[in-house]
Chains A and B, each alone.
Chain A
Amino acid sequence: MTATARSFTRSVAEGPIAPAAAPSASRVLVRALAMEWTKLASLRATWWCLGLGLVAMSAFALLMGVSTADRFAEDPVAASGFSYAQLTSQGVFYLVQFVVLTLSAMAATNEYSTRAVITTLQTVPRRGLVLAARTCVTAGLAFAAGAVTTALGIGLLWSVVGSHARLDPGYALTTVLGAGGCMAVLAVLFTGLGTAMRGTAATIGVGFLLLIGIPLVLQLSEVQALNDAAAYLPGTAAIEVYAAGDVGFYTAPHDGPVNLATVLGWAAAAQIVAYTELRVRDA
């Protein structure tokens, strides 16, 4: 590890540096996006996380498919009530959204535990821009995770039960895009939450409670008002959206736009808290 001669750097004897023209706002954003993408994509954990999502969804779809196919073989009439979207949405709810939670929490918080955030903020001192870029990149990956796992799940289910239950490609596409979109919005939420909390474990813990812990307890209460309140949590509101109301294990008191607004509201609130925290607090 011997140092080589310094030969390539500009000789400052040529004179003071002329102030460079400031890059446009869009160029600065594109650079921040490229930086965040390079950072996220260069970590093995990112790909392990996404790979785990694919494996989990595959296993879930095959398991559900095989048991359903057995049932349909004995009772073909039952196949008429079969819903591809319901099963894959449950796979997303029970498995994929936790991959998105983990991915977002890592992307938002790992620079605080390693202190690498000081290097990031030296490169891009505008903190809102760092948050925006990081959120976009994470949301993009989350969209891919939601859409690809759902498509894979539907494909595997169809390969097993396709002879019993017809698949409507248009409806399947809606399910795929809905799952992708909702996972992207959850990534926005959890990247915001992680940025505000700065700790990976804490973010995943709180995220777990929001997604499944609290709604489960509210439902267990058997108090109707509390049961209905569960619809205003991000995970349950999201599955109403991507399962298009056909959740199977839970019915929200309202449809469509309210659920979408709920998920978006959670994401917006988390981002506002994150941005405020990032601006006010020292790095």
Chain B
Amino acid sequence: MLTVRHLTKRYGETVAVDDLGFEVPPGRVTGFLGPNGAGKSTTMRVLLGLDRPTSGAALVGGRPYTEIPEPTREVGALLDASAVHPGRSARAHLLALARGSGVAPTRVAEVLQEVGLADVARKRIGGFSLGMRQRLGIAAALLGDPAVLVFDEPVNGLDMDGVLWIRRLVRDLADEGRTVFVSSHLMSEMQLVADHLVVVGGGRLLVDEPMADVIAAWSRSPVTVRTPDAALLAEHLSTVPAGAEGRVRVEDAGGGELVVHGLAPEEVGDTAHAAGARVHTLFRAETSLEQAYLELTETATEFSGGASTRPTGAAPTAAKERT
């Protein structure tokens, strides 16, 4: 269990984290999402005792990291895969960490095997690709067989094989009952690995909800309809009053395709029926977390005084709006 409570961290005048609070319980993958500079890495650094909080606390199992007697046996972390001495072999690097934390040296060969670096164990890290360093960092995190795992942007720089491996590893670790806290600035990645989402923007907490709720709450995905009577249908749709999903907006995507915002597929179908417009295709696109996230950060921007109020991702060409 990780607990972040009223955490604030300032670097001089810059506020990196601003009164942030959330919990990361065991047994599920908690995604930590936010744009670059949102305070994710800072929060993780404070959690791991590397930076001191300006105020508030970040606790592991109820204690500050620095008060845990054998910390790497309780928390495994990968913050920066390139933070290794290039002149040391992978084996020597892990052996030093094992000796420092009282972990049996035999674990070194085990974790190297697990991350697929057994063949290059005696090679110097300087010759490793970023993907191999990322695996080495994961190996170091797993060394103490910890119940809590913290990964900062673990898929950065990995090839597809590596990305798939990380996703499976993260899932397996959570299924084993461990606490898994993974940060990313990639919404699509979070959607694939996280059960629960903590979203930060500008150092503040924006969302702390299950993944499904986040998607449902933050997206109003449009309905796509294909009809040979596009003009007729668009005209009728524009007379429908604003519904539960907000104002109605129709975009003409061309080729007889309309994209309808603010209505459910049933309402679009009923409107078409009433208008006598023939419908060849009618569907609601699966909402991506990417979309939810963009809408979310757009809102955050508005809160902080940003000017843009235009809907994200909308192609304004031939859009018929009704207010």
Q: Which residues of A contact B (CB under 8 A)?
A: 1-4, 6, 8-13, 16-17, 20-23, 27-28, 31-32, 34-36, 38-39, 42-45, 110-111, 114-126, 282-283
Q: Given A1, A10, A35, which contacts B117 in the complex, CB threshold below 8 Å?
A: A1
Q: Which residues of B contact A (CB under 8 A)?
A: 26, 45, 48-52, 65-66, 68-75, 77, 79-80, 82-89, 92-93, 95-97, 99-102, 110, 113-117, 119, 132, 135, 140, 142, 145, 147, 161, 165, 168-169, 172, 176-178
Which 4 A-B pairs have CB atoms at the shortest separation, nearest pair first?
A35-B100, A12-B177, A42-B92, A22-B69
Q: Given B50, B116, B169, which contacts A282 in the complex, CB threshold below 8 Å?
A: B50
19 A-B pairs besides A12-B147, A36-B96, A116-B85 with CB distance below 8 A are A1-B116, A3-B115, A9-B176, A10-B176, A11-B177, A12-B177, A20-B69, A22-B69, A31-B99, A34-B100, A39-B88, A42-B89, A42-B92, A43-B87, A114-B84, A114-B85, A118-B79, A121-B50, A283-B51
Q: Given A11, A23, A114, which contacts B86 in the complex, CB threshold below 8 Å?
A: A114
The answer to whether B116 touches A3, judged by C-beta atoms less than 8 angstroms apart, is yes
The answer to whether B84 touches A119, judged by C-beta atoms less than 8 angstroms apart, is yes
Q: Given B50, B75, B84, B116, which contacts A4 in the complex, CB threshold below 8 Å?
A: B116
B68 and chain A: residue at smallest CB distance: A125
Q: Which residues of A contact B110 (CB under 8 A)?
A: 8
Q: Which residues of A contact B116 (CB under 8 A)?
A: 1-4
B266 → A minimal CB distance (Å) = 44
- C-alpha spacing A34/B99, complex, angstroms: 6
Q: Given A110, A117, A122, A282, which contacts B72 in the complex, CB threshold below 8 Å?
A: A122
Q: Given B82, B89, B92, B145, which contacts A115 in the complex, CB threshold below 8 Å?
A: B82
The answer to whether B92 touches A3, judged by C-beta atoms less than 8 angstroms apart, is no
Q: Which residues of B contact A121 (CB under 8 A)?
A: 49-50
The answer to whether A35 touches B50, judged by C-beta atoms less than 8 angstroms apart, is no
| Also in contact, A43 and B85, with CB within 8 A (given A12-B177, A115-B80) | yes
Q: Given B73, B75, B88, B102, which contacts A43 in the complex, CB threshold below 8 Å?
A: B88
Q: Which residues of A contact B113 (CB under 8 A)?
A: 4
A26 → B minimal CB distance (Å) = 13
The answer to whether A123 touches B100, judged by C-beta atoms less than 8 angstroms apart, is yes
B107 → A minimal CB distance (Å) = 9
The answer to whether B102 touches A23, judged by C-beta atoms less than 8 angstroms apart, is yes
14 CB-based A-B contacts, threshold 8 Å: A6-B114, A6-B172, A28-B69, A34-B99, A39-B92, A43-B85, A115-B80, A115-B82, A119-B97, A121-B50, A123-B71, A123-B97, A123-B101, A282-B51
Q: Which residues of B contact A35 (CB under 8 A)?
A: 96-97, 99-100
The winner among A11, A123, A282 for most chain B CB atoms within 10 A is A123
Q: Which residues of A contact B140 (CB under 8 A)?
A: 119
A91 → B minimal CB distance (Å) = 28
Q: Which residues of B contact A22 (CB under 8 A)?
A: 69-70
The answer to whether A17 touches B147, judged by C-beta atoms less than 8 angstroms apart, is yes
Q: Which residues of B contact A118 (CB under 8 A)?
A: 45, 48, 50, 79-80, 83
- C-alpha spacing A10/B165, complex, angstroms: 19
Q: Which residues of B contact A116 (CB under 8 A)?
A: 83-85
The answer to whether B74 touches A125, judged by C-beta atoms less than 8 angstroms apart, is no
